[in-house]
Chains A and B, each alone.
Chain A
Amino acid sequence: MTVRLSHLLLAALLLLPSAYADDRKMCTAPASECEKAIRQLSSGRRYLGAQIEELGPGIIIKAINEDGPAARADLRPGDRLMAVNGRSTVEGSIKDFKQILFSAKATGVLWVIVQRQGVLKKIDVRLEPYSKAQIDKMVAQHLALAHGIPATSAATAPQQ
């Protein structure tokens, strides 16, 4: 009996940390593999840096990321998108806007007409790739979340 109890205790002690670790480490792949994949998937891809919201018919800008292409082009939250790249979005949905964004992927340029406080305004937005700092941040976040690696060590990883 005693032998069996001690065995059970030993097993519980061994299993507990591993179960905890499994919960934290969501990726089965090695950390370096994940990092490579993230860098590959995010590099060279342009982004707008704005959140869009659908308003029945029509779409407005909900929020603008700090230090993003939209912010630099002076798009502001609450701007209603009337036309993008020559296509009317007055009655459009988020899906339409995303399609326009997808088709502008190659040139990376959006000509947007927005309605801001009743006034129409033409704004040129140049889509930008993610900055190195942003990508590093993505990697660090993933490593911390899925692999349990502290952010500091992950931040140094690319320099190796």
Chain B
Amino acid sequence: MVRAFLAKWKATPRSGDRPDRVSSILVPFLIVTIGLAALAWRSYVLSARMESGVNTLAMQYAGYAAQISASRIDAAVGSELFRASEEWQKVERRSPSSAELKKWIQDNDWIISALYLPDADPASAIYASELPGTVHTGTRLTRELYSPSGIVRYTYDPSSLLVRVRPALAQQPLVQAQGLSQQAQVTIIENPSALGAIKTGKGYAVITPLAAPLSNYAVRGFVEIGYGTSGWENARLVSILLSAFALLLTALGAYLAMRGLMHEADTMKLRGALVANVSHELRTPLSMIRLGAETLKRGARLPEKQRHEIEDSILREVLHLSHLVENVLDVARMQNSSAKALAFTPVYPRDLLTSLVSTYESWIRSRGFEVTLNIDDAIDEQSWDRDAVSRAVLNLIDNAIKYSGDENKQIDVVLRQTEASIVIEVKDRGIGIDSDDLAHIFEPYYRAQFSDTQTRRGAGLGLTLVQQIIASHGGTIEVESKPRLGSTFRLLFPRAQSHTTTHLAQLAPQTL
């Protein structure tokens, strides 16, 4: 059942595992994202509303400015005409003459020429003109002025009249408002092409026509819109950019959280694999031992041969169990490196290998394997941790036995030396390692996937331990492998150069 569960576990893809955890991380981010999106939408709507509000305000201000100015100009024109007629009536009370009429025209410089027709005798009219008529090329308007003793008819130039009343434009008290420039710009334009509100590039213009006699002219009130439409001044753009930035940050946070979660999930998975593997690995030999011991106790009359078999099997299982426990403990110790795991002593590699093989030869033979030792006798004493190196080599032999087929049960152990290193090779003719798996075989709890992985015993710790042992000796490990042809593991220890260095290396751990 455990195996079935493990198989199922490994078969499921990574992203799919622990969906409850993924959602528990992603849901808060989703909520934040929704909140941010709502905020972004809201701020966009608000800034759009603000813009339209400012636009309306600008248009209204422009309209007010134009209308007020137009009515001011109209009033000024009316008062100018009235003032001229009042002046003439004053002149008229003293006997009107040609010189007086001329003076009146000069005082009111917008009048070009005037004809005074007294009621008493229309034929004795007085005519005066200020300038040669050719100067006034623009439109001329005629106006009548009924005075007590007659009529004055005069021609005048509306543009000159406009010049006279233009100061009325200067008085422009407009309320200051945020988002608008301080004042409306009021100008007078001739022959307006269009009336009413016009949206220009920078603001709003409202054109209001003037009353007669200046109906050819119009007042243009213009209000510039204070808010910008580009860069940081564009509130809408900025709100969108800031929201996008916030969303990006949220996405980054979600990604980081997901990555952390994945990492945690990996660790959890490995831990789970360890517990499952190790408990299985521990339980199997224990039950074998228990079964053997029970059989021995009950069956006193067992034949001698069977009793030996049971004893062998118990011994084998105990060996295996102790080997496994040693491995787990060593890996844990080396990973934590809390205590100095290794004790370096002078060792002859030749002795180490021969004693190792002779100790385990019976066990190896019992599995149906042949071991050949190929040893270079010239190798000097080395400063190694005897037990650790033995365990490393034993692990390699164990692996070679585990991952060999039935057809070629031959293991070669070679000890040789090169210029720089002492080399121990363990070569089998077994099932080999897939190139996909080669990159992972030294990871803790990693086990290559075979159709029958679960029938081969092991916790996935052996090679990890080997690598750690070699690394702590300052060496490296090489693997050559071809599927179905066998693997060669090569341990390369740095070669001790002389006795002094050996001695120093030997002393070093003790001083620490």
A residues with CB within 8 A of B: 26-30, 33-34, 37-38, 40-42, 45, 47-52, 54, 63, 65, 68, 94-95, 98-99, 101-102, 105, 130, 134, 137-138, 141-142, 145-146
Contacts and interface: CB of A to CB of B under 8 A. Distances in A.
A101 to B, nearest CB: 6
Contacts of A34: 113, 127, 129
Contact of B98 (A28, A52, A54, A146): A146
A38 B151 contact: no
B102 A26 contact: yes
Interface string B118-130: 0111111111110
B254 interface: no
A145 B99 CA distance: 11
Name, among A27, A101, A102, the residue most crowded by chain B CB atoms within 10 Å (CB to CB).
A27
Nearest to B152: A41
Interface stretch (B142-150, B294-302, B304-312, B333-341): B142-150
A41 B149 contact: no
A54 B127 CA distance: 27
Interface string B482-511: 000000000000000000000000000000
Interface of B: 98-99, 102, 113, 115, 117, 119-129, 131-134, 142, 144, 146-149, 151, 153-155
A64 to B, nearest CB: 10
Name, among B119, B133, B134, B153, the residue most crowded by chain A CB atoms within 10 Å (CB to CB).
B119
A28 B115 contact: no
Contact of A41 (B119, B132, B142): B142
A26 B117 contact: no
B120 A102 contact: no
Contacts, number: 98
Nearest to A145: B98
A146 B97 CA distance: 11
A45 B151 CA distance: 10
Given A41-B142, A101-B146, A137 B129 contact: no
A41 B155 contact: yes
Closest 3 CB pairs of A and B: A98-B146, A41-B115, A137-B123
A152 B124 CA distance: 17
A104 to B, nearest CB: 11
Contacts of B117: 42, 45, 47
Contacts of B120: 51, 63, 65
Contact of A37 (B121, B124, B133, B147): B133
B129 A33 contact: yes
29 contacts: A26-B98, A28-B132, A29-B129, A30-B132, A34-B127, A38-B125, A38-B127, A41-B115, A41-B142, A41-B155, A47-B117, A49-B119, A51-B149, A52-B119, A63-B120, A65-B119, A65-B120, A68-B122, A95-B148, A102-B144, A105-B144, A130-B122, A134-B123, A138-B122, A138-B123, A141-B124, A142-B125, A142-B126, A142-B127
Nearest to A42: B115
Nearest to A139: B127
Given A37-B129, A40-B142, 15 more contacts: A28-B129, A37-B133, A41-B154, A45-B117, A47-B122, A52-B119, A65-B119, A65-B120, A65-B121, A68-B122, A98-B146, A101-B146, A102-B144, A137-B123, A138-B127
A54 B147 CA distance: 13
Contacts of B126: 142
B125 A29 contact: no
Nearest to A38: B127
